[in-house]
Structure 1
Amino acid sequence: MRAAFVFPPKAGATYIPLGIASLAPYIESHVPDAEVHLIDLNIALWLRLASSEPEGSDLIAFTRGKTGQFLDPVQTSYYKKVWDRLRRKMTLLGEQANLYLATGEASGEFLSILDTQIEQILGFEPGLIGISVLFPEQLPFAAALARAVKNTLGVKGIDGVRIVLGGAMMSAMPATELLEAIPEIDAVVCGEGEEAAAALCLNRPHGAIPGLIYREGNTVRSNIKAQTLSLKQIPAPDFSKLPLYAYFNPVPVLPVLFSRGCAWRRCRFCAHNFSFSGYRKKDIRDFVAEMADYTRRLGVHHFYFADEYILPKDMDGICQEIMAQGLFVNFHILGKPTADCTKARLALWSAAGCRWIGWGVETGSQRLLDLINKGTCVGDMDTVIHNSASVGISNLGLMIFGLPTSTEADLELTMDFLSRTYNSFGGLTASAFVLFEKTYFARNADRFAMHIDEAMPLIYSNKKVVKSYRLKFREIAWDGSLRTPRGAIEVARWQQFRKWLGDTPFLELLPTEHYLIHVSSPEFHMKEPAQDVAEAESI
């Protein structure tokens, strides 16, 4: 069977899709006669938008390192304005996708884009079209594409082509609602998709495919969950099927995954684990061998680890193996600032190529850290952030404002913490607390003075609404009245306060891939290598 796996807009122009790159080698190893084609419609649309922008070709040349000085903040800031114009155009196209789903009508530009996408997909003559949806912003584009493709197939008199949606977003929404609202979608894969994708390529009936939710006549049926696969059973992602040099990066930056799920898995606000079947990790040597293969075969030296959280002892093993193999790489990870992230340990990671860490700080209030079950201590976070910066690792602080029961005193503690550590951060994110169905806080909303209004809508079609597991809520005041959640208010307070701490760091304005490239350069990487290696050897 011929299978086309598609990554639709809207995602960043720097992002190389890990999901469809992971499916291809698994299918090919289990379905020998399968022909798998990967299509990144997201980057194709970015390139199309750039071609219609007066300075679009200059932007592409700059971000690919062909002209100008990519590492120069002034030039980067200039081209960011051009990029922002493209982002606004992409947002408007998302609105057109929603209009198309709700009314069947859209602008001539959007319909032309759909025609081009359909031609690109059907030109491969696939029997299966899999659409991978990672972010909520992709869903309108994906649903519109499914409808347009199915309509085109009908006009051409082509039967038997199955359109299936998968990806992490399918676990963040009721799939049954999607199938009811968009009848052009034949099925949805919830959770990890390798086994279902292979079964679909074997042309097995929907009822025999684990993890599949599908339409049978006027009824939507759900199959049993797919078995949890050992990561030893899953081949390394194949990025060679994607246009690595088409993205808005001067060098390719590949997402890699050492583990699935979260090693901690106890944060009471988190919904990220819904798409995975428990925590598993790869053999360290096998994982580093994957990176070495990408370096040797594809010329890639920049990676970002897409893991939820890698245990410090596993990071030690990965870094020691990188150094043992003499592998020259630069990488980014997500981390939890706990006491076991010692200075010597961080020095090892830095010496192996760790250039920046996104730290799950969340708050500077110990009461709130304990409430959300983060497993961190404010005093330890102070030390870890300082030590990380001192060994040459750039720190990005990931903050959540307006956590349940947050007070003025909690906000002051957070601002105090950020004031103390501000100079050790390369950047900070400031997110308002978001409530998700099935999480601890959603199950105990009344206990934490939250009134749940409704699930947030994603798309409208056929007089039906498809909702997210994200919940709209208000806080319950002491007198029983309902008020706007504190999150947005606290974010605004922080943004006003931080002006006293200095200018917004340049790195904070960059997409993930560009952040990594910048801090991997000699101009930004300010550690003492010999000292780092000496400290690393003490591990």
Structure 2
Amino acid sequence: MILVFSPRTGPTYTPLGLACLAALAQNQDDPLEVFDANLDLWQQICEQDQALGAMREFFQGPLDRFLNPVVYAAYSSLLPEARKKIDQLEQQARAYLQGSGLDSGLQALLQRQSARILGERGQSTVAFSAMYLDQLPFILAQAKYLLEEAHAGCRILIGGAAMSALSVPELLRAAPFVDAVVVGEGEVAFQALLDKQPLAGIPGCWYREQGVIRCAGEGSVPQNLAALRRPDFSLLAGAGYFNPVPVLPVYGCRGCKWRRCRFCTHNHSFGLYRERPPLLVVREMQALQERWGCRHFYFVDQYVDPLYLSALSDAILELKLGCRFQIMARTVAGYTPALLHKAAQAGCCWISWGVESGSQKLLSLMNKGTSPEIALRVLSDASAEGISNLVMMIFGAPGSDAACLEQTLAFLDRAWTNIDGMTASAFVLFDQTEFGSHPERYGLDVLGKNHILSVQGHPIHDLKLRFRREGEPGRSESPLAALEIEKLERFKAWLPELPFHGTLCCEHYLLYADALQTNHRPRTKQRPA
């Protein structure tokens, strides 16, 4: 059996999902293979272009040179060219799935990666891990090629978080070359697969039986995370990711402890909230440091609450682990100055805050459980400790109006000197969330489902819903989010430019945040002339 992580995502990410599943196969008679096809594609692109090869060499080169913003900017300016090449391959994959034939570029990629997947002896099962829906065109194109061109005769499965974000029956109806799709957390289902259980006996498995799509029932969620094996990065670490030093993902919790935001769809990927003992997590980080020399970790947890951050920091300080890490959090009062100081001492150098809005009206409608004033205090206290703050904002949310936008812009103006990075996302209405389940309560009119891909004319939709707001003219999708983001960009022109690292990918942001915290100097607010 082989686990495959397909394009497309960046070349810096080491797939945690593959490492978690690989750990289950450590004592199997038949060795499990792991193939990061996404990284393989990036490597190929860089090998075929001298300038992109130099870019890769820089990203993997000495850390001190990597941390020079001028040099970094020069090399990273080549990334759009690499992504353009991947864009072209994705369009070819979409055309191939629609029956338009194989373009030479895509054919060369699929042929080469099929040879790697099948090896000399072939594979009985090929399992694709889909973290993002952006991977789906490449996954399906590879699956189709394996069966129709390579005549591999293998069983093909797809799992991963992205499978909880689309219509699985649609996917199976559209893609007859896919045998099964597993929804939900993967450990229990993958163990059943390793034990050679039939598809009908695999929790969370959708499969095809004599032309009929069936479901084996809901996925089984591991309740005791401490009983799970440590993720096994042995087949991934050191594989040539585009980072100057090792940067690895780690998790302390699954699910969200808050779990009440009316817009959030992440709860479909995981079960209820569960924690791993913080000391267990830190010992895992210690083992990764000893084996791979990894000092930098980012937590993939949806929300590291104050109590868990405190216990995690205590464990790091107790073991004297020299590490640097990042978390995601909500701006609540529990992140006190004392806690943020302890976290910084333990190595926390970056927090991604789900701020969402500077309007209390919108925060209440979202059921976020936060307030703008507390958010301002928390951001200021974190910045005082040298912790880099990235704020995640949502525009065009239900209930938003001109006054709400002005309140958000005023909030950003007050918080700006304590912000290093910001994401400005357009509100997305997801099915099965509170907003999506009861749109009429929030002044929303659903227009239909969101089409992401077609295979031989058969559409596949995700959980996004196209919508308009009550009172908006016509039947087109609501333009409010785009209009608000446009006003935000005009407003930002009057604010000081955010630090260089605020726009970098996760792994690179973490490395810069580490360096900046080490040389922490308070920032001053200087408006453009």
TM range, smaller chain: over 0.9
2:67 match: 71
| Secondary structure class of the residue paired with 2:316 | helix
RMSD: 1.7
Q: Could you tell me whether the CA contact under 8 Å between 1:133 and 1:167 is conserved in 2?
A: yes
What are the residue-to-residue correspondences of 1:467-478 with 2, within 5 Å?
467-477=461-471
Measure, in 2, the Cα distance between the counterparts of 1:412 and 1:22: 45
Give, in angstroms, the shift of residue 362 of structure 1: 0.2
What are the residue-to-residue correspondences of 1:380-395 with 2, within 5 Å?
380-395=374-389
Give, in angstroms, the shift of residue 250 of structure 1: 0.3
2:42 to 37, 43, 46: 46
Structure 2 residue 169 is the aligned partner of structure 1 residue 176: yes
Structure 2 residue 253 is the aligned partner of structure 1 residue 255: no
Aligned-partner residue type, residue 126 of structure 1: Q
Measure, in 1, the Cα distance between the counterparts of 2:95 and 2:399: 38
The 3 A distance-change label for structure 1 pair 498 and 405 is: same
Task: Give CA-to-partner distance per residue, 1:276-297, whole Å, 9 cap, x none.
Answer: 1211110111111100000011
Q: Could you tell me whether the CA contact under 8 Å between 2:349 and 2:513 is conserved in 1?
A: yes
Structure 2 residue 426 is the aligned partner of structure 1 residue 432: yes
Measure, in 1, the Cα distance between the counterparts of 2:140 and 2:4: 12
> Identity rate of aligned residues, in percent?
37
| Secondary structure class of the residue paired with 2:4 | strand
Measure, in 1, the Cα distance between the counterparts of 2:296 and 2:476: 48
Structure 2 residue 103 is the aligned partner of structure 1 residue 110: no
With structure 1 as the length reference, what TM-score do the two structures score?
A: 0.93
Aligned-partner residue type, residue 169 of structure 1: A
1:122 match: 118
1:62 match: 58
1:487 match: 481
Give, in angstroms, the shift of residue 193 of structure 1: 1.1
Q: Could you tell me whether the CA contact under 8 Å between 2:63 and 2:244 is conserved in 1?
A: no
Aligned-partner residue type, residue 172 of structure 1: A
Measure, in 1, the Cα distance between the counterparts of 2:145 and 2:474: 49
Give, in angstroms, the shift of residue 217 of structure 1: 1.4
Measure, in 1, the Cα distance between the counterparts of 2:354 and 2:22: 32
Give, in angstroms, the shift of residue 319 of structure 1: 0.6
Q: Could you tell me whether the CA contact under 8 Å between 1:200 and 1:209 is conserved in 2?
A: yes
What are the residue-to-residue correspondences of 1:109-258 with 2, within 5 Å?
109-123=105-119, 125-154=122-151, 159=153, 161-229=154-222, 230-258=224-252
Measure, in 2, the Cα distance between the counterparts of 1:366 and 1:388: 22
The 3 A distance-change label for structure 1 pair 183 and 409 is: same
Could you tell me which runs of 5 or more consecutive residues in structure 1 were left unpaired when the two chains were aligned: 529-539
Measure, in 1, the Cα distance between the counterparts of 2:422 and 2:472: 32
Measure, in 2, the Cα distance between the counterparts of 1:120 and 1:152: 15
Q: Could you tell me whether the CA contact under 8 Å between 2:60 and 2:242 is conserved in 1?
A: yes
Give, in angstroms, the shift of residue 482 of structure 1: 6.0
The 3 A distance-change label for structure 1 pair 377 and 68 is: closer
The 3 A distance-change label for structure 1 pair 508 and 522 is: closer
| Secondary structure class of the residue paired with 1:35 | coil
Measure, in 1, the Cα distance between the counterparts of 2:85 and 2:502: 23
2:493 to 474, 494, 499: 499
Task: Give CA-to-partner distance per residue, 1:481-533, whole Å, 9 cap, x none.
Answer: 766231111111101110100224311221110010011125764079xxxxx
Q: Could you tell me whether the CA contact under 8 Å between 1:4 and 1:37 is conserved in 2?
A: yes
Q: Could you tell me whether the CA contact under 8 Å between 1:258 and 1:287 is conserved in 2?
A: yes
Aligned-partner residue type, residue 394 of structure 1: S
| Secondary structure class of the residue paired with 2:390 | strand
Q: Could you tell me whether the CA contact under 8 Å between 1:475 and 1:482 is conserved in 2?
A: no
| Secondary structure class of the residue paired with 1:248 | coil
Aligned-partner residue type, residue 19 of structure 2: A
Task: Give CA-to-partner distance per residue, 1:354-405, whole Å, 9 cap, x none.
Answer: 0100000000000110110001011100100001000110000100011101
| Secondary structure class of the residue paired with 1:150 | helix
Could you tell me which runs of 5 or more consecutive residues in structure 2 were left unpaired when the two chains were aligned: 523-529
Q: Could you tell me whether the CA contact under 8 Å between 1:34 and 1:201 is conserved in 2?
A: no
1:19 to 17, 20, 25: 17
Structure 2 residue 82 is the aligned partner of structure 1 residue 86: yes
Measure, in 2, the Cα distance between the counterparts of 1:223 and 1:242: 31
Measure, in 1, the Cα distance between the counterparts of 2:507 and 2:391: 17
How many residues are treated as equivalent by the alignment? 520
Structure 2 residue 274 is the aligned partner of structure 1 residue 280: yes
What are the residue-to-residue correspondences of 1:317-328 with 2, within 5 Å?
317-328=311-322
Structure 2 residue 312 is the aligned partner of structure 1 residue 315: no
Q: Could you tell me whether the CA contact under 8 Å between 1:396 and 1:428 is conserved in 2?
A: yes
| Secondary structure class of the residue paired with 1:474 | strand
Measure, in 2, the Cα distance between the counterparts of 1:478 and 1:285: 53
Give, in angstroms, the shift of residue 245 of structure 1: 4.7
| Secondary structure class of the residue paired with 2:65 | coil
Q: Could you tell me whether the CA contact under 8 Å between 2:114 and 2:150 is conserved in 1?
A: no
Higher mean alpha-carbon deviation, 138-147 vs 202-211, is at 202-211
Q: Could you tell me whether the CA contact under 8 Å between 1:4 and 1:129 is conserved in 2?
A: yes
2:329 match: 335
Measure, in 1, the Cα distance between the counterparts of 2:216 and 2:391: 40
Give, in angstroms, the shift of residue 458 of structure 1: 1.6
The 3 A distance-change label for structure 1 pair 421 and 478 is: same
